């Protein structure tokens, strides 16, 4: 393990501890939250380093005593057995982690091939992620949505946030970052009169939610258009120019929001999504410059690029990236996603230990 990296991170931990002990920092909640998240990320490392240091000290003392009193030999042997495990744990914590792991996310779900059936499946995915968030005590908010005629969704943006500082710096992104891609469903649609199984798909994009300090946006780079909402929402929504479309001219990224009654509220929501997309784009550029092996999340709803299949007749969920299969689709759609997410996290951990940081995200 790198002693220099360990020393640097422990120094950072001590500095963050001092900052959090200063009452002045809490006058700025955004700064306090950011510092608190980073501190939480370093707590496991600090604890592991302390445990290893203590074990080594105890081992040295036990061996010294064993030289004079053989009864201490068994204790020394017991401590010696525990040291390699502690060293391995610390070495794992020293591997550079995803810088966004502590962040909240915006999940975008778009219906793809399959018409109304695809929109209904997109609605199923929306409920699945909402229920998973509820199980973890997270807060969800639909930022913008376009409903379909049969009760599904054509396009939806869902914000998922932790309450307070996530333990160990493991925020929503650390759990849902692998969900981006094409999700395929196989089932008999409600619109199918012959009972035939159809295949359709929906696209999912997961973005770490950006804070103001993460992305700087020049207002001169924005073109902001307003228009009349075409969706449900009541008389005031459909008869006023409350919907907002923001175009980021340098990148061509376009974001529209029409859920809120107020033009100002729709603009604020659109800016949240724009910041998240710009942060993701900047990260992709940085990763591409560092490694040609980096691949972004799938952004097209092409069934050939699927990452996961939901087979209703077999009650089966299959993640194609890691060969995971379970026959509990009903439970997964009810929000019990930890089985597949734990498998993805373990595959990622193994990949990072092997030096491949992108194994499960390509």
- Domain membership of residue 361 (yes or no) is no
pTM: 0.76
Determine the pLDDT at residue 356. 61
Determine the pLDDT at residue 301. 46
- Average pLDDT score over residue span 172-194: 89
- Domain membership of residue 194 (yes or no) is yes
Sheet with strand 324-326: strands edge to edge: 139-147, 153-161, 105-111, 198-208, 181-187, 306-311, 316-319, 324-326
Compute the 3-state secondary structure of the chain and give helix, strand, coil in percent, each to the nearest 5. Answer: 50, 20, 30
Six-digit token string for 193: 């009169």
Q: Among 43-57, 82-96, 174-188, 300-314, which stretch is predicted with the lowest mean pLDDT?
A: 300-314
Determine the pLDDT at residue 287. 66
- Domain membership of residue 2 (yes or no) is yes
Same domain, 201 and 184: yes
- Domain membership of residue 99 (yes or no) is no
Determine the pLDDT at residue 216. 83
pLDDT at 233 over 60: no
Residue 321 Cα distances to 271, 324, 359, 361, angstroms: 33, 8, 9, 8
Same domain, 196 and 229: no
pLDDT at 200 over 60: yes
Write the pLDDT tens digit of every residue in 341-357: 999 999 988 888 777 65
For residues 175 and 318, what is the distance between their CA atoms, to the nearest angstrom? 18
Same domain, 185 and 135: yes
For residues 90 and 54, what is the distance between their CA atoms, to the nearest angstrom? 13
- How many domains in the chain? 3
- Domain membership of residue 359 (yes or no) is no
Same domain, 321 and 203: yes
- Average pLDDT score over residue span 296-309: 60
Same domain, 1 and 73: yes
**Which residues span the domain enclosing 227?**
219-289
Same domain, 114 and 169: yes
Distance, C-alpha 108 to centroid of its chain: 12
Same domain, 306 and 176: yes
Same domain, 153 and 270: no
pLDDT at 288 over 60: yes
Cβ atoms 33, 69 nearer than 8 A: no
Buried b (16+ CB within 10 A) or exposed e, 94-108: beebbebbbbbbbbb
Q: Which residue has the higher pLDDT, 310 or 233?
A: 310
Same domain, 207 and 309: yes
Q: Which residue has the higher pLDDT, 89 or 211?
A: 89
Same domain, 208 and 244: no
Write the pLDDT tens digit of every residue in 137-152: 999 999 989 888 888 9
Task: Give the domain CATH number at 140.
Answer: 3.30.70.1660
């Amino acid at each position: 393990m790198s002693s220099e990296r360990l020393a640097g991170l422990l120094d950072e931990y001590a500095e963050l501890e001092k900052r959090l002990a200063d009452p002045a920092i809490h006058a700025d909640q955004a700064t306090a939250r950011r510092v608190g998240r980073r501190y939480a990320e370093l707590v496991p490392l600090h604890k592991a380093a302390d445990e290893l240091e203590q074990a080594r000290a105890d081992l040295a003392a036990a061996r010294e005593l064993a030289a004079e009193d053989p009864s201490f030999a068994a204790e020394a042997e017991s401590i010696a057995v525990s040291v390699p495990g502690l060293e391995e744990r610390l070495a794992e914590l020293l591997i550079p982690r995803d810088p966004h792991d502590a962040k909240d996310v915006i999940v975008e779900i778009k219906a793809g091939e399959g018409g109304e059936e695809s929109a209904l499946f997109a609605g199923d995915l929306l409920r699945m992620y909402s229920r998973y968030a509820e199980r973890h005590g997270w807060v969800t908010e639909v930022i913008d949505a376009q409903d379909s005629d049969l009760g599904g969704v054509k396009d939806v943006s869902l914000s998922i946030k932790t309450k307070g500082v996530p333990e160990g710096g493991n925020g929503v992104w650390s759990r849902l970052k692998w969900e981006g891609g094409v999700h395929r469903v196989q089932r008999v649609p409600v619109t199918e009169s012959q009972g035939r199984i159809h295949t359709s798909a929906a696209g999912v994009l997961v973005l770490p939610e950006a804070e103001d300090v993460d992305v700087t946006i020049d207002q001169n780079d924005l073109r902001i258009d307003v228009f009349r909402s075409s969706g449900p929402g009541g008389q005031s929504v459909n008869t006023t120019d409350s919907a907002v479309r923001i175009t980021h001219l340098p990148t061509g990224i376009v974001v529209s929001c029409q859920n809120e009654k107020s033009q100002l509220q729709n603009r604020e929501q659109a800016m949240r999504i724009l910041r998240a997309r710009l942060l993701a784009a900047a990260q992709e550029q940085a990763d591409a410059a560092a490694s040609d092996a980096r691949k972004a999340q799938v952004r097209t709803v092409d069934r050939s690029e699927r990452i996961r299949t939901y087979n209703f007749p077999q009650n089966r969920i299959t993640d194609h990236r890691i060969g995971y299969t379970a026959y509990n689709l009903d439970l997964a759609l009810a929000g019990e996603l930890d089985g597949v997410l734990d498998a993805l996290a373990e595959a990622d951990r193994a990949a990072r230990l092997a030096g491949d940081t992108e194994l499960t995200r390509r």
